[in-house]
Amino acid sequence: MHRHAARRGMSGPASVSTHRTDLAGSDCQHGAVLDRGWNRPGHPAGNALRTTWGEIRQIVQFYETKTESVVTPVLQTLFASSTSILTALFSCLLIFWLLSTKTTKPFYNVHGNRHFDAPIVGPSNALLARWHFFRHGPALIRQGYTQHRDSFFKVSGHDILVVPPKYLADLAVLPPEKLSVNAAIVELFQRLPAITTVIADHSLQARMVASRLTPSLGAHVPRLQAQLRTHLPNELLATTSERWVSVPALALVRRLVHRGTAAQFVAELADDEAWLATAIAYSENGFAHSLLLRVFPDWAKPVAALCLPTGWSVGAALRRARRQLVPLIRERRRRETADVDYVRPDDFLQHLMDGGGADDNDDNITVQRLMVVYLGAGPSTMIAIVQILLDLCAHPEYIEPLRQEAIQVLRGSGGYSRQALADMKRLDSFMRETQRLSSPTGLGLHAIVREPVTLHDGVILPEGAHIQMAVHEIGMDPDRVPNPAKFDGMRQYNNRKRPSQGNCYRKQPRLYFSSGLLLTHSIEYTTTSENNLYFGYGKVSCPGRFFADQNIKMIVSNILIRYRLRYAGGAIERPKNTTLYDVVIPDLSTLIEFKLREDASEYNF
């Protein structure tokens, strides 16, 4: 059998990979940590705790100076000296875990990973492995992919099993009953009620995104464009054709994204500042919450999910959302019954109201479904747009070609439409190159195996395995993408007539994708292929990517048509991205200067 095959029937410590290193050293037997005294100088457990706590303080100080993201205030709250109670509590949790590791059954984040024999890249000690992955996630993934390109490996201890790309075709066809993305999301948020109550396979909100929201995106274009025509000048109010104005990239993009989303999700509240604040609070605290949970021991995560300030903030935002939306839902239902001339809004809230059966008619649950989709759409779209703007400033030679393409397409189509956006092929290419080099995460196709899966060569993924794929390294593989380190904004556009270029696994082009999955040559931003896995692949793909694509293109093209942009002070070097685990975040403190174009008034699309 394949050397990485899972061992059926194994359980307990005997099934743990031989690469594992015990927390307090291999010489520590049952109760040895207690007997020898973890706090004595030189003791391995004490050294581990002291090293880790020093790492925590360094990480907080590092991100205080490097970013102004939503994560930083949370880290400050948790670890600042003024919050001694939380600090002491967290210290106690760490100490208790160290003391109990040798005397209790291991607590698994995902049980199946420990039953799968694969090398661990980085520290094997669970505590140190997580903090090392926090600091050096991309480097560890790169090392693992380089050393084990065609085989399995683990990062962050046993937390993540990275699957080689040769199994992509196997995974792409598995139903959620066997390979579940939603189970991984629930695990990520540790069943935090304000988020995970409504997350399940075949959930109403997922079905409505695919069957109602995506088909109606074309009808949303005029509404979204009206928002941008009103609010983009307001956000850049001090900008004139004579004056450059510096604006924090995140602050600008955050409000544009959430206003546009509100116009398509809750039409009545598109211009409501209170609703804007609620949506931002829910989505951004939820994003930060998922990152913070990853540092905790597995057994402590369910408690931490309820005790972290981010969890409280998510719950408070959900309660505010219910106060704002439940009366609106009831008013819509009243008018539908009482007013024969009433026309139901074409927005996502209405889709949720209409799409459910008797079991999906709870107004509070409907609001939570809406907010969960906000969480999935908001932060990821914001980060994508910020990365695109940073690349435009770093590569200004692309600005005019992209601008002229947008103007020509919009003139030919009579303004913005779904088809006009699809015809912006150069913009598609630029967006994909930004995504390839500044991918939102180093790992993708995040899912949990719900029942044993036998792959094409006999390897068995055990039930409970928590799997991902090294999507960034796949996109940077020179055997897949020529000259991968170079930013080429027209890479996909120039390859559009060369179907074998950039879309094949060159060394063995037919071995893994003989089913036809190989033959994907479209250059659209939303296209998934074996080398473009940032939105997933097959049945393990993001249903909201078309919504994100439309929002990104409309915001970026409106900026290009009406404004000049550059880094503050005329700088040309792109600010480096920062990372939290495998998550890639642009430097959110970056200022971008904007100046109104002299001919901006000529383009009234």
Name, in order, each residue with C-beta under 8 angstroms of 350's C-beta and a sequence gap of 6 or more: 332, 344
Tell whether the torsion through CA atoms of 263, 265, 266 and 271 is positive or negative.
negative
Name, in order, each residue with C-beta under 8 angstroms of 367's C-beta and a sequence gap of 6 or more: 318, 321, 322, 325, 326, 329
Question: Among residues 595, 599, 603, which one has the least CA distance to residue 557?
Answer: 603
Place of tokens 């999935």: 376
HSE value, Cβ hemisphere, 13 Å, CA-based, for 17: 28
d(C-alpha 242, C-alpha 239), whole Å = 8
Question: Among residues 23, 69, 60, 59, which one has the least CA distance to residue 43?
Answer: 23
542 is in an annotated binding site: yes
Place of tokens 């120039």: 494
Q: How many H-runs (helices) and E-runs (strands) does the chain carry?
A: 23, 14
d(C-alpha 562, C-alpha 3), whole Å = 59
Cβ-contact 544, 376 below 8 angstroms: yes
247: amino acid identity, one letter: V
Give the total residue count for the chain: 605
d(C-alpha 465, C-alpha 12), whole Å = 15
- Binding site for heme: which residues? 542
- Binding site: which residues? 542
